[in-house]
Homo-oligomer: A and B are copies of this chain.
Amino acid sequence: MDHPQPAPTRGRIVQVASRLFAEHGYHGTSMRDIAAAAGIRPASLYNHFPGKEDILLAVGHRYFATMWPALRAASEHPGGPLDRLLALISAATEVGRNHRYEHQALVGEMRLIRRTPALAPLVESGLACIALWHETIAVGQRDGVLRDDVVPAAATWLIFTAITGLVDQGHRSDVLGDPAVRTVSALCAVLVDGLRHPNTRTGTPALVGA
C-alpha cells in the first residue's frame, strides 16, 4: 500500500470540520474554530491541508466515498424500476444518516461548491450520483410505472430534499429515542405513491431495505 496508515489527526480534522461546516456554514467556521475542535493549533492544520477549501473538499470526498458505492449497488438492485427506486431511497437515507454532518455541510454549501473551481471534483461526484437517480426514474417512466408529467430531475430533487429533511430530523428523533425507520417507511410511501402512475396504484408500498 502506498498509504499504509493515514494520520489519525487528518481524519479528526475532517470529522470536526464536517460538524462545524454543517452547523455554522463554511464562511461561519474559521480555521481557528476547526483547530480548537480538533485539539491542535491553527497553524498545524496546514501540515494536513494546503488551505481551508481543501478541508471542505476532503469532507466531500469522504461523503461520496460511501454514498457513491451505496447508490451504485442500489441502482443495480434486482427487480423493476420501482424496486430500484425504493432501494435508492433506502441507501441514500442510510448513508445520509450515517454521515449526517457531511451531508448537511455539502447541501448547505452547494452554491459555493458549484462556484469554486477547486471544488469541481465534488460537483462531478454529485452529478454521477444524480445520473443514477435520473436513469432509474426515466426507466420507470418508460415502463409506465412512474408518472411521466414530472421530469426525472424534479423527482430526484424532491426525493433528495426529503432525505435531507430526514437526515436533519433524524438527529432529533434519535435523541428522543424514536426509531427513525418508521419515518423512512412513511417517506417512501408518500413519495413513491405520489410519483407512481395513477393507473398502477395498488396501495401503500411496503418498506424496502433499512
Report which A residues bind B (CB closer than 8 A). 23-28, 108, 111-112, 147, 149-150, 154-155, 157-158, 161-162, 164-165, 169, 183, 185-187, 189-195, 198, 201, 203-204
Contacts and interface: CB of A to CB of B under 8 A. Distances in A.
Contacts of A112: 24-25, 28
Given A157-B169, A162-B161, A165-B157, A147 B27 contact: no
A194 B195 CA distance: 7
B154 A158 contact: no
Interface centre among A23, A183, A194 (most CB of B within 10 A): A194
Nearest to A197: B204
Contacts of A25: 25-28, 111-112
28 contacts: A23-B111, A24-B27, A24-B112, A25-B25, A25-B27, A26-B28, A27-B28, A108-B108, A147-B189, A147-B204, A149-B204, A150-B186, A150-B189, A154-B165, A154-B169, A154-B183, A154-B186, A155-B190, A158-B165, A158-B187, A161-B164, A189-B194, A190-B194, A193-B193, A193-B194, A194-B194, A198-B201, A198-B203
Given A108-B108, A161-B165, A195 B204 contact: no
Contacts of A187: 154, 158
Contact of A186 (B149, B161, B191, B193): B149
A23 B201 CA distance: 41
A186 B154 CA distance: 9
B204 A198 contact: yes
A149 B28 contact: no
